[in-house]
Every structure is written in structure tokens, then in C-alpha cells.
């Protein structure tokens, strides 16, 4: 609990409408989209200026009170759940686009900006922020998790677009990291150290982001296959062809069945690749699509649809983005664990085969899909957390898939972060370098008040 004297001081810093210890508010900030149990904070504050964040952290460090940053609560690994209570800083009201510099392909934003809203703002200038996790995520949350998504295969993840940060450290000190220059060889890259740190080293209050030119032409396509293995093999063939897809997604027949039922896609329910290509002209894209169709045919493709219209393209990608929500609605009363591994692209077919074979061998209900173009496999496992036997089987499958990804030279998490659920794999993945991470944590946050219980 926060000492009463400190609580009164905090309340004096914030007006009543931006300070709440109410049970419903606390509970809303005690869960995210993961299966992890409710763990509410003691107090929720809504800062509107970096100076308020500085005052809160200085006070929190003096009294060793945990502080957790909150974006949209859309995380999938318990990343923002305040497992040790304390204070949650909700950045919903620090949501301003501060300055757009089209001539530099840059924008300055506060952490509460929703990335879709940022893209709507930038589009009239022919620019956009490419990372696309699907949910209405905030920029601050995306920086914390190094979020990516469907377009990563061409454009990269959040880390590739962060140029400079304003960060408040655990003692309330503000620091500025990075520059507005396109490149730099000056010292350690501390700016990107904070990307993917899940708010455990400092709290971002401002970010300078690099933007990309909005593609003038695009072509979307779907390709069906007789087996998931054929589809996965085709992913590798497309990637080594040099055609450079902007998005390349694998959806298995079981997932497509749910999407057809809920979204009315009307696609044949076989393992399917969703693809999109961006380019400066329609003629070049048409030639690329002919090559892609030939690659799909050579790898056992049984159906190919190209040149989807804008409405069909939007419907297709919205359905893909909503896959997890669709799976949840199909299984009311169940709990869900999302496996989020990534492996070298050459090992992706092997990873997909392992996951599907394991589901059959264990008799475990699960759905395989993922950002195939960058080797990112998602596996949604369905069980009942309150039934120990059911959930133990879910956890066993999860661990087996993650350890297989690590054996293949991959990672325990491609884009969802460590949070609570992936801590057990950190030592296996990182070995002795994990101790260096702990020492960095001690340096930046000696009293471990920033999002405690995460990473380690």
C-alpha cells in the first residue's frame, strides 16, 4: 500500500479527474489481453506533462513505490500488469502529435498517441508509420514492446523507426537520447536500449519517429495449399526470390474456418497465404505477382487470387488482424495462451510442422498462424485455467514449442515481449548475457520500482 502521507502528496499533484483509487479503475488497470490474473495497482494517475511524471517518479523512488506505465492495455504477455501494486501512470491523456516534419520524414509524439491515429494524420502528407501490430496500440506501448506486425517483413519493427526519445529515469531525472539525424556513430545506442525494455529502465514521455513514404501502388493476393507444410515451404521460396513482399501471412485451415464463419471471407478452407506487395508502379507489381503465382504453383498451390480490390483487401487484412479476437469468441468460457516465437526463415517450415504435430500428439486444441515472412509463428492454445490438468497441458505445449524455437536458433518472443509469461525462457535464450541485463536494470533502476516483476 502507498503510505497515506505519500498518497496525499500525489493527490495534491493531480486534479481529482486525473487521480483515482477507485476499485473499478484499479481493476481496469490490473489486467491486459493475456490470461494472467488480475493484479490491480493502488492508484492510477493520468499525467499530461513530462514534469508530472518526473515528480511522481522522484516521490516513488524516495518511498520505494512501484510505478508501471500504461498505454492501451492491449499487451498479450502481462507486460503492463502491476504485479506489485503501487502506481500506474496511464498515458491516455498524453496523446498529442507535437510536430510533423514532412521534409525530414519525422514526427514528434507523446506516448499516448494511437498509431492508427498517427497514420491518419500523416497520410495527407504521403507518409506513414509502418509498424502495424493490429490492436489500437499506443506509441509508448509499441516502444516498450518493440512491437511489429504484418508489415515487418518489408519495413521492420518499431525499433527501426525510433530516432530520439525523452525518458524519465527512476529517480525522476529526464534524459534525451538519440538525434534527429538519419544516422550516427556517436557512442552507445542508448536510445534503442529503451525500445523493448517494457518500461523497466525508464518511462518514455516523448518520441521522435522516422516515417516512410506511403506506397502509391499495392497488390494483394491469397494462395491456397493442400497442406500447411507446402504453404510454409512456399514462404521460404518467396522470401529467397527477392520479390520483397510487404506482408506475407500464414493462416491454417482451422483459423480460416473461424474467419470465414465470422467475417464471411468466402475463402476455401485450406492452408492459405495472405500476401501484399508495394511498389512505385502497377506494371512492375503485376510482373511480381506473375512470379509469385508461379512460385506458389511450384510449391503445390491449389488456388491463387490476385488483384484484390481495396474493399476486399481491407476486409481481408482486418480479419487477419482480428484473428485472436475471433478465436476467443469461438471458445467462450476458455482461457488462451499465445505462443509467439520467431525462427530463421529457413527453419520456418520445420517450426510450423513441429507445432502442428505436437498439437495432434498431445490432443491439445490450438490454432497456428503467423507473420510467416519474418519467421514469426503464433500458436493460440485453448484451455481452462481453473482446471489444473487442462492448463498444465497448455503450459507443456507452450514450453515445448518455445524450446524448439530456441533450438532452431530463434527467440521466445518475436513481438509480444517478455512480460510475465516469457520470463522462464530468458536464461536459456540469453545465457550469461542475462546477467548483463540485470546489471543494466540495477544501474538504471537501483530500487527496482519500474514495472517490477517483469523480464527477470
Q: Strands 87-90 and 67-70, how do they pair?
A: parallel
CATH number, domain containing residue 313: 3.30.70.2190
Nearest Cα to Cα of residue 89 among 209, 202, 208: 202
CATH number, domain containing residue 13: 3.30.43.10
**Total residue length of the chain:** 456
pLDDT at 135: 87
Apex 411 CA angle, 410 and 415, nearest 5 = 125
Cβ-based neighbour number of residue 185 at 10 Å: 5
**Residue 449 resides in a domain:** no
For residues 190 and 152, membership in a common domain is answered with: yes
Domain with 41 in it:
4-92
pLDDT at 216: 83
Give the pLDDT confidence of 254-270 residue by residue, as tens digits.
999 999 999 999 999 99
For residues 364 and 389, membership in a common domain is answered with: yes
φ/ψ region of 431 (left if φ > 0, alpha if ψ in -120 to 50, else beta) reads left
pLDDT at 452: 97
pLDDT at 150: 93
Supply φ then ψ for residue 335, to 5 degrees: -110, 160
For residues 296 and 229, membership in a common domain is answered with: yes
pLDDT reading at 338 higher than 90: yes
For residues 112 and 203, membership in a common domain is answered with: yes
Apex 149 CA angle, 143 and 153, nearest 5 = 110
pLDDT at 307: 79
Q: Domain tally for the chain? A: 4
For residues 65 and 107, membership in a common domain is answered with: no
Mean of pLDDT values over 173-184: 96
Burial category of 26 from C-beta neighbours within 10 Å (exposed 0-12, middle 13-18, buried 19 and up): buried
Mean of pLDDT values over 142-161: 96
pLDDT at 447: 97
Cβ-based neighbour number of residue 188 at 10 Å: 8
Mean of pLDDT values over 175-198: 96
pLDDT reading at 207 higher than 90: yes
pLDDT at 59: 97
* Confidence band for 435, pLDDT divided at 50, 70 and 90: very high
pLDDT at 174: 98
Q: Can you read off the three cell numbers belonging to residue 288?
A: 511480381
Final residue belonging to a domain, choices 163, 186, 213: 213
Final residue belonging to a domain, choices 318, 348, 366: 318
Q: Taking the chain, what is the end-to-end CA distance rounded to the nearest angstrom?
A: 23
**Residue 428 resides in a domain:** no
| CB contact at 8 A, 318 and 311 | no
pTM reported for the whole predicted model: 0.94
| CB contact at 8 A, 451 and 444 | no
Radius of gyration (C-alpha) of the chain in whole angstroms? 22
What DSSP letter does each residue of 146-159 carry, written as one string?
T---TTHHHH--GG
Q: How far, in Å, CA of 248 to CA of 153, rounded? A: 7
* Confidence band for 280, pLDDT divided at 50, 70 and 90: confident
For residues 48 and 33, membership in a common domain is answered with: yes
pLDDT at 179: 96
pLDDT at 311: 83
H runs (alpha helix) in 64-204: 115-122, 139-145, 152-155, 190-193
Mean of pLDDT values over 127-146: 95
**Residue 242 resides in a domain:** yes
pLDDT at 1: 80
pLDDT reading at 99 higher than 90: yes
Give the pLDDT confidence of 400-415 residue by residue, as tens digits.
999 999 999 999 999 9
pLDDT reading at 330 higher than 90: yes
Q: How far, in Å, CA of 252 to CA of 273, rounded? A: 9
**Residue 246 resides in a domain:** yes
pLDDT at 191: 96
**Residue 206 resides in a domain:** yes
For residues 241 and 307, membership in a common domain is answered with: yes
**Residue 427 resides in a domain:** no
Q: How far, in Å, CA of 175 to CA of 192, rounded? A: 14
Any idea of the CA torsion for 69, 113, 416, 19, to the nearest 10 degrees?
A: 20
pLDDT at 391: 97
Q: How far, in Å, CA of 293 to CA of 255, rounded? A: 23
The answer to which of 205-209, 313-317, 356-360 has the lowest mean pLDDT is 313-317
pLDDT at 217: 86
For residues 165 and 188, membership in a common domain is answered with: yes
pLDDT reading at 286 higher than 90: no
**Residue 21 resides in a domain:** yes
CATH number, domain containing residue 100: 3.30.465.10
For residues 114 and 197, membership in a common domain is answered with: yes
Final residue belonging to a domain, choices 92, 116, 147: 92
Supply φ then ψ for residue 255, to 5 degrees: -70, -45
Specify the residue for cell string 512505385: 280
Mean of pLDDT values over 205-231: 94
pLDDT at 401: 98
pLDDT at 309: 75
Q: Average model confidence (pLDDT) for the chain?
A: 95
For residues 227 and 206, membership in a common domain is answered with: no
Which is higher by pLDDT, 150 or 216? 150
**Residue 386 resides in a domain:** yes
pLDDT at 285: 87
CATH number, domain containing residue 392: 3.30.70.2740
Cβ-based neighbour number of residue 436 at 10 Å: 10
| Longest CA span, the chain | 71
pLDDT at 134: 84
pLDDT reading at 93 higher than 90: yes
Detail the DSSP E strand segments found in 215-359: 217-225, 247-251, 272-279, 301-306, 335-342
Q: How far, in Å, are 142, 266, 420 from residue 374 at the CA level? A: 18, 27, 24
For residues 288 and 341, membership in a common domain is answered with: no
For residues 148 and 80, membership in a common domain is answered with: no
pLDDT reading at 279 higher than 90: no
Amino acid at each position: 500500500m502507498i503510505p497515506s502521507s505519500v498518497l496525499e502528496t500525489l493527490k495534491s499533484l493531480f486534479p481529482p479527474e486525473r487521480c483515482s483509487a477507485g476499485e473499478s479503475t484499479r481493476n481496469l488497470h490490473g489486467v491486459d489481453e493475456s490470461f494472467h490474473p488480475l493484479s490491480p495497482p493502488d492508484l492510477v494517475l493520468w499525467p499530461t506533462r513530462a514534469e508530472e511524471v518526473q515528480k511522481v517518479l522522484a516521490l516513488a523512488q524516495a518511498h520505494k513505490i512501484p510505478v508501471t506505465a500504461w498505454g492501451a492495455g492491449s499487451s498479450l504477455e502481462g507486460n503492463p500488469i502491476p504485479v506489485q501494486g503501487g502506481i500506474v501512470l496511464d498515458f491516455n491523456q498524453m496523446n498529442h502529435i507535437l510536430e510533423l516534419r514532412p521534409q525530414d520524414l519525422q514526427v514528434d509524439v507523446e506516448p499516448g498517441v494511437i498509431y492508427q491515429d498517427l497514420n491518419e494524420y500523416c497520410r495527407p502528407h504521403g507518409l506513414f508509420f509502418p509498424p502495424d501490430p493490429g490492436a489500437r496500440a499506443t506509441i509508448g506501448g509499441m516502444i516498450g514492446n518493440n512491437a511489429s506486425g504484418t508489415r515487418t517483413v518489408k519495413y521492420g519493427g518499431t525499433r527501426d523507426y525510433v530516432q530520439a526519445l525523452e525518458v524519465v529515469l527512476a529517480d525522476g531525472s529526464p534524459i534525451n537520447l538519440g538525434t534527429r539525424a538519419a544516422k550516427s556513430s556517436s557512442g552507445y545506442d542508448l536510445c534503442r536500449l529503451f525500445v523493448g525494455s517494457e518500461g523497466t529502465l525508464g518511462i518514455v514521455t516523448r518520441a521522435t519517429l522516422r516515417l516512410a513514404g506511403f506506397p502509391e501502388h499495392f497488390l494483394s493476393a491469397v494462395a491456397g495449399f493442400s497442406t500447411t507444410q507446402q504453404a510454409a515451404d512456399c514462404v521460404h521460396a518467396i522470401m529467397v526470390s527477392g520479390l520483397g513482399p510487404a506482408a506475407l501471412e500464414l493462416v491454417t485451415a482451422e483459423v480460416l474456418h473461424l474467419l470465414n464463419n465470422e467475417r464471411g471471407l468466402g475463402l476455401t478452407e485450406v492452408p492459405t497465404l495472405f500476401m501484399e506487395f508495394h511498389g512505385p508502379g502497377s506494371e512492375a507489381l503485376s510482373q511480381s505477382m506473375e512470379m509469385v503465382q508461379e512460385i506458389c504453383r511450384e510449391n503445390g498451390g491449389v488456388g491463387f487470387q490476385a488483384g484484390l480490390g481495396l474493399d476486399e483487401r481491407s476486409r481481408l487484412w482486418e480479419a487477419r488482424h482480428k484473428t485472436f479476437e475471433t478465436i476467443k469468441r469461438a471458445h467462450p468460457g476458455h482461457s488462451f495462451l499465445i505462443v509467439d516465437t520467431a525462427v530463421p526463415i529457413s527453419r520456418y517450415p520445420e517450426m510450423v510442422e513441429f507445432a502442428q504435430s505436437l498439437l495432434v500428439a498431445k490432443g491439445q486444441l490450438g490454432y497456428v498462424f503467423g507473420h510467416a515472412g519474418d519467421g514469426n509463428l503464433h500458436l493460440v492454445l485453448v484451455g481452462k485455467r481453473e482446471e489444473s490438468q487442462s492448463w498444465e497441458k497448455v503450459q507443456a505445449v507452450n514450453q515445448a514449442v518455445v524450446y524448439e524455437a530456441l533450438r532452431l536458433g530463434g527467440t521466445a518472443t518475436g513481438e509480444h515481449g517478455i512480460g510475465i509469461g516469457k520470463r522462464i525462457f530468458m536464461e536459456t535464450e540469453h545465457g550469461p548475457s542475462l546477467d548483463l541485463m540485470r546489471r543494466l536494470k540495477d544501474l538504471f533502476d537501483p530500487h527496482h520500482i519500474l514495472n517490477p516483476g517483469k523480464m527477470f
